[in-house]
Every structure is written in structure tokens, then in C-alpha cells.
Structure 1
Amino acid sequence: MPLTDLIPAGLVVGLAALIAITWTLARRAITRIETRFPPKAEFITVDGVRLHVRQTGPKTGPAVLVLHGAASNLEEPHLALADTFTGERVIWLDRPGLGWSDRPDGLWSPQREAALIARLLETIETGPVTVIGHSWGGAIALRLAMDHPDQVESVVLIAPALSAWIGDAAWFNTASFWPVLGPLITHFIVPLMGEGQARSGAVSAFHPEPVPDNYLENSALPLLLRPSTWRANARDMMEVNHHLETQEDRYEDTHQPTAIINARADTVLWAHRHGGMVSQRMPRASLHWVSGAGHNLHHHHPAIILEAVHKVREQARNTAGNTAMTGPAA
């Protein structure tokens, strides 16, 4: 007997109506998110990929590139650092696939991301930059420094994720790619219910410090709740251990001056295993602990980040000056 003969026609009609209503509500939620948080910077196309980029400060001079962490966008670090960095030439980037930046098709990796960012720096003619990376953005920052050393003169890492085996991906990241359940999560559940989870996630990211007023709104974090953005971030987090295992053996070969700024009370990752242990393996890294701070320490301690930028930049230039005076080794 056909299955349709066993299901009352009224139930089929009711289920179809429920799906249609839910789909409409989810589409409206996505439209509201994009209306609330429109792109506020310029779009630059690099190798056929449209990237959302904000440039602030002087038009010339040494540049700082800021790479946000997972589940985020350029507005998050801009909210934290913009006022403190008013005198600096800064490039704020929506990392590919997040915020308003596109991500190319195919398998994505820190290597591909670093290559695309390097091409962006060439396109806007920044010269060698100081790159700031927060959390997962720290891993991308180091990949950029390792793969494209001529374009990175120094590095500042804020609560970085650097070592493999940091734990399994959250179940909802993996489940976002399951048959049936995956589309249900990405197209219905996340757009309709995700903001509540985002708020609780922010509390964890800032603990033990307070979440700034109107943080979700001012940082445009709900942009993550759009299906394509959610899937891009979920894919990154599903493969984070593999990506870090692939690159962490190369950290000893990173010769740019690097400041690693860790929070002693970080509840998002084990800071000693990441910034702490990695700093011991990098020939020109210095480690700084911020007491009483959480994973998003850049919001409450922006002056520490700016001071670190000035120090690593000076170290890089002193090295360049010494090399110029002494010439190449015999």
C-alpha cells in the first residue's frame, strides 16, 4: 500500500502549510538581519572574489591588518579597537565567507585564505603589514606570516587558537551538513532561533568581564545566522583540528616579531596550550598575560593591543636596520 494512502490528506496539507509558513518566517528573519546590518565598507574584488574591506586612518604609511575570529565579521574588532587605533592605518576585513565577503567554491583552508588575503594586500598596495589576529583569526594570521613573509613584518595574536586537538566541533556545526537535519538547521532553526544562542555565547567569550552594552547589535554578529555564512563558519570549525595539525609544525620557522596576548581567565580555549606553549617554540615571540580578562580581551584592553603593535613593529624595523648596516652573512 502506498505510504500516501496511510497518511490522512489533512495531515499532509497541514504539514505542507507548516513548512511553508516556517520557510516564510525564516526568509523574513534573514531579510531583517541583512537590513539591520548592511555592508558599511567597500567591496574589493580579488581574483574574482568579492571581499568586504574597511580602511581607516592615514592613507599612507605602515598598515595594520585586522583578522576577526570565528563566527564574526570586521565590525567585531572594529567595535573594540577603532577608537584606540585612530592614528593608525588599518585594514579591517570580513574574512572570506563571513560578514559580507564571499568565499570561493571548493575546499577551503587557512592556506587558501592566506593566499587570498595576500592578494588583497597586493591589490591595495599596503606594503608589509602588522597583522592582528583574534582567536581563529590568529591561526589565519600566522598562516599569512608563514606563507607570505614578504607581506607581513610583524604579528599580534589575541587569545589565538594555534594548536591542534582543541576538542571536537560543536555538534551543531557537524550536524549542519547532515542530510535532512542539516538544511533544517541552517535554513530554519538558526535564522529563527540563533540570536538567543549568540547572546549566551557572547557571555562565555567575555567572561569574567562584562559584555559591552548592545554588543550583538554593534558588532553585527547576527550576520552569522544567514545560511551560507553559517555553513562557511561551521565548515571551518568542523575541520579546525585538521587545519591546525597541518600548520603547527611550522611555527618554529616564523621569524617575524610576534606578540601573543593571552587572557588568564579565558573559558573558550586553553590559553596556555595555544598562546603559552606556542610562544616557546617561536624564535621571536613574546607572551603577555592579561589578568582578569576573558577571550574577547581586546574590548576591555585595547591599549594593550596598540602597545603590542608598536613594539613588534619597532622590533621588525630594528632588525631590518641591523641587516642593512651589516649586510648579508658571509
Structure 2
Amino acid sequence: MISIVLVAILALLALATQAGVAVLERAYPAKGKIIHVAGATLNVVDIGARDSVNFPIVMIHGASSNLEVMRQPLGNLLANKHRVILIDRPGHGWSVRDRELDSTPVLQARMIAEALKQLGIGPAIVVVHSWSGALGPRMALDYPERVAGLVMLAPVAHPWRGGVGWYNKVVTTPLIGPLLAYTITLPLGLVLAEPGARTVFLPQPMPDDFIASTATTLLLRPREFLANARDLVTLKQAVAEQAPHYGDIKVPVTIIAGDVDKTVSTAIHTLPFAAAVPHTKVVVLGGVGHMVAQAAPDRVIAEIESMIAQLGSADAAANAGTDVSSSSWPGLSRP
């Protein structure tokens, strides 16, 4: 009798989940262009100015989110002067990747580079946040023709002590994980989404409309929740494997991080990366947490503009026959 009741409850939850998915997808429809690459279809939003003078800016979000987190406010502000390409990472937002594929930065870098090639984008300023702090360097290493410079916001770049949350491990467990994802994750997540997001913003307050304006609850769809969990549980090993190669990165890098980030430690990730890549400029924002683009968009834009200006000067010097070394890129600064 108990088993029959349990099956009935799971069936009801599964039906509720499918209904919830339909509601979410009607509320937050796809707004970009679909690009087909090997193993995935990527949703790409292309906004802003079109000219041949400025580098395009490619923006890639972190875990548990989608391209709207990079669009608001940063991407929209940059689009006033630049061409901005916003990408839903494979498996996130309205991008879909084959379920049997791995979820590492190596694979996602290949997919994104392929999409940029189809769009004729590159070299570009690549702006990455959080989880994609591992993806940006991977792109610079494997697809340098697509990357003119790298701006990393609160990036994950090195192995860390501990894990990524017990629920991510559980949901990636065969049979049990999909069962949870297709039954309780969405209804439970709707309750927990807002307090969870507020925690990531600390010590800054989360904007009141953040959850709705960024379509954050799309994460609760089963296929995206599973993809996000796989991204997280495989990340630590991925950065351990790629970290020894960071010294081979040739493009200029700027890292902007908060000194009170409790989600991604600046000491564990940012400073060791800067030590491995000497031509890295590090900006540590006092009293700022993990969501640096929302906390200090003007400073982030200023650093992107500074990189574009320096790259333009380097191009001009190269055309004039002057040797300009990337070692001149400034180091640590604290506002």
C-alpha cells in the first residue's frame, strides 16, 4: 500500500513538473538565434553596435544561470558602444547539449568557438563569470584566434577544498538523479530559488526583480538542472587538469573579484591565476561579493574599455613596427 501511495505521489509530482516547465517556457521564451554545433544547439543573442573598429564582446555566464544574467545590466550597457554576443552555455537557458556528452570546459569551449566561427566573430573580448572562469582560459588556450583578451569576473580557475553541494552529487547519480529532477526539483526549487540567489549576492542586496528579469527559474527544468549539476561536479577535476597550462595564455587578462566573495574565493582562484599568468591585471573590489557585474558595472565596463584601448594601441604599434610586450599589462590594483 505504501509503495502504491509513493508511486502515486511521484506521478503527481512528475505531472506537476511538466506543467511547471510549460509555464516557465511560456513566461521566458527564447529570444536569440539558434546556432547548431557538433553535440549542441546554442542560443545566441547579438546586440549593440556594428562596426569594424571595436572588438566584439562575447559574454558567457556561470553556473545556475543563463545569458540574461550577463545582459542585465552589463551587456545592455556595453551594447551602447559595442557589439555584444551573449551565449547560453550548452545545456543552459535555451541552449541544449546532447545528454551523453561530457560537460567540461574543454567541450563547452569547443562548442562556443564553433558557434563564434559560424557567426564570423573573433578575435573578441571574452567576458566570463564564475564557472566560466574555467571556460575563458580554456578558450584562450585552445582557440586563440577567437580571443583577443579575457575579462574574468569572480572566476573559478583552480581546485578548491571541499565539494559543490551534496544535492549536485545526488542529482548526478544514475536513476536517483533523474527521478528527483523530474519530480521534486521544480516545486521545491520555486520555494528556494529566491533565498538561494540572495545568498550569492551577499553582502550586496539582490535586486528585487532579479529572479524574474533574468529567467533564473528556467534552471529548475529537469534537463537544465541535470546539466548544471554535471557542470558543477566535473569542474574541480577540470580546473586541476588545465591549471598547469595557464602560463601558455598569451592574450591580456583582467580579473575583477570581490574581497568578500563567499562563493568563489579570490585567494584560491584569482591570485594563483595571476601568479601563473604574469600579464594579468587583478582588480579586487572592497566589500563586494560574487556578483561583481551587478555590484560594480561601471568599474567592469571601465576595465573592458581599458583592455580594448590597450589592444588598439598594441595593434597600432605593431603596424608601425614597434615591439609591444604583453608583460606591460598592469598587475594588482585595489580601488
Asked whether the two chains share a fold, i.e. TM above 0.5, the reply is yes
Task: State the shift of 1:166 in Å.
Answer: 4.5
How many angstroms apart in 1 are the aligned matches of 2:161 and 2:304?
27
Q: Which amino acid aligns with 1:23?
A: A
Match of 1:20 among 11, 19, 24: 11
Q: Which amino acid aligns with 2:123?
A: P
Q: Which amino acid aligns with 1:20?
A: A
Match of 1:94 among 85, 88, 107: 88
Task: State the shift of 1:153 in Å.
Answer: 0.6
Task: State the shift of 1:234 in Å.
Answer: 0.4
Q: Is the 8 A contact 2:122 2:148 kept in 1?
A: no
Q: Which amino acid aligns with 1:88?
A: H
Residue in 1 that maps onto 2:159 = 164
Q: Which amino acid aligns with 2:311?
A: A
| Counterpart secondary structure, 2:250 | coil
Residue in 1 that maps onto 2:145 = 150
Q: Is the 8 A contact 1:130 1:156 kept in 2?
A: yes
Q: Deviations over 1:255-308 (max 9, x none)?
A: 211110010111112112211221122121000011121100111211111111
Match of 1:72 among 55, 65, 68: 65
Q: Which amino acid aligns with 2:166?
A: W
Find out whether 1:292 has 2:283 as its counterpart: no
Of the structure 1 ranges 60-69 and 18-27, higher mean CA displacement relative to structure 2 is found in 18-27
Q: Is the 8 A contact 1:256 1:316 kept in 2?
A: no
Structure with larger Rg: 1
Task: State the shift of 1:211 in Å.
Answer: 0.2
Match of 2:25 among 29, 34, 38: 34
Of the structure 1 ranges 107-116 and 176-185, higher mean CA displacement relative to structure 2 is found in 176-185
Q: Which amino acid aligns with 2:89?
A: R
Q: Is the 8 A contact 1:80 1:302 kept in 2?
A: yes
How many angstroms apart in 1 are the aligned matches of 2:248 and 2:4?
63
Residue in 2 that maps onto 1:221 = 216
Residue in 2 that maps onto 1:279 = 274
How many angstroms apart in 2 are the aligned matches of 1:238 and 1:20?
28
Q: How many residues align?
A: 320
Specify every segment of 5 or more residues in structure 2 that has no aligned partner in the other structure, as ranges: 325-335
Change (3 A) 1:327 1:210: closer
| Counterpart secondary structure, 2:320 | helix
The alignment's TM-score, normalised by the length of structure 2, stands at 0.90
Task: State the shift of 1:12 in Å.
Answer: 5.3
How many angstroms apart in 2 are the aligned matches of 1:26 and 1:48?
26
Q: Deviations over 1:176-214 (max 9, x none)?
A: 132453233211121111123221221121111110011
Identical counterparts, % of pairs: 30
How many angstroms apart in 2 are the aligned matches of 1:246 and 1:149?
19
Task: State the shift of 1:32 in Å.
Answer: 1.4
Residue in 1 that maps onto 2:327 = none
How many angstroms apart in 2 are the aligned matches of 1:239 and 1:26?
26
| Counterpart secondary structure, 1:196 | helix
Q: Which amino acid aligns with 1:277?
A: P
CA RMSD, Structure 1 to Structure 2 (Å):
1.9
How many angstroms apart in 1 are the aligned matches of 2:187 and 2:49?
41
Instruction: List structure 1 runs of 4+ shifted beyond 4 angstroms.
Output: none
Of the structure 1 ranges 46-55 and 146-155, higher mean CA displacement relative to structure 2 is found in 46-55
Residue in 1 that maps onto 2:136 = 141
Task: State the shift of 1:122 in Å.
Answer: 1.0
Residue in 1 that maps onto 2:198 = 203
Change (3 A) 1:198 1:320: same
The alignment's TM-score, normalised by the length of structure 1, stands at 0.91
